[in-house]
Chains A and B, each alone.
Chain A
Amino acid sequence: DTAVSQTPKYLVTQMGNDKSIKCEQNLGHDTMYWYKQDSKKFLKIMFSYNNKELIINETVPNRFSPKSPDKAHLNLHINSLELGDSAVYFCASSIQGAQGQPQHFGDGTRLSIL
């Protein structure tokens, strides 16, 4: 069984559209994250949720809206997609209070904006 799974794996769409990426983890973790990895390969945190509550919001444009229906799911909705949104988006999860615990990543969603 995949520990952290994201769908879709590839997403190709036009500028201005609205799209969603889903993430689910079956590890029983309380904390989930969204990261963006751009073309220069820098991996940057976007959001973090703990037990459905927003913990970290790294000055991401409000076109990006995370939603956590329960602690096993953290979805990412993006409105009015722009060319600069093209990147790989990774979902991750960890144990609550995870200062010393690693995060487990999904295999990424490759978003391409035409």
Chain B
Amino acid sequence: RKEVEQDPGPFNVPEGATVAFNCTYSNSASQSFFWYRQDCRKEPKLLMSVYSSGNEDGRFTAQLNRASQYISLLIRDSKLSDSATYLCVVNNAGGTSYGKLTFGQGTILTVHP
């Protein structure tokens, strides 16, 4: 089983649609969670951290279920500029205080007019 698993998509949605991405992770000791966004031929950039209580940033909502080892990202009112690859990222410090990010393979989103 992969450490971090995502549906690779691609997801093709019209502008204004709501789309949800899911991610599962295998290490129950994982300590922190993120969604990153990567545009074509660019570096990954932090979209948002994911907290146990769930958190929202504008049109983006992230949820974490530790019992099920499941993370989700919901995008409301999709914009053309949301087209990118969305990376589920889990931090497994392995008992140390240093971050070791494990990336999912990414979910490709294309928003069309």
Contacts and interface: CB of A to CB of B under 8 A. Distances in A.
A55, A98, A107 — which one has the most chain B CB atoms within 10 A of its CB? A98
Interface in A91-105: 94, 96-105
B99 A94 contact: yes
Contacts of B85: 41
A66 interface: no
26 contacts: A31-B98, A33-B101, A40-B105, A41-B106, A42-B103, A42-B105, A43-B44, A43-B103, A45-B101, A45-B102, A48-B98, A56-B98, A56-B100, A90-B43, A90-B44, A96-B97, A99-B31, A99-B98, A100-B91, A102-B49, A103-B99, A105-B43, A105-B44, A107-B43, A108-B42, A108-B43
B17 interface: no
Interface of A: 31, 33, 40-45, 48, 50, 55-56, 90, 94, 96-108
Contacts of B103: 42-44
B96 interface: yes
Contacts of B31: 99-100
Sort A-B residue pairs by CB-CB distance and give the 10 closest, nearest first.
A98-B99, A105-B43, A102-B46, A97-B97, A43-B103, A100-B32, A107-B43, A55-B98, A99-B93, A99-B31
B25 to A, nearest CB: 15
Contacts of B45: 105
Nearest to B99: A98
B100 A45 contact: yes
Nearest to B94: A56
Contacts of B43: 90, 105-108
B27 to A, nearest CB: 13
A101 B105 contact: no
Interface string B4-24: 000000000000000000000
Interface string B38-56: 0000111110010000000
A99 B97 contact: yes
A107 B42 contact: yes
Contacts of B42: 107-108
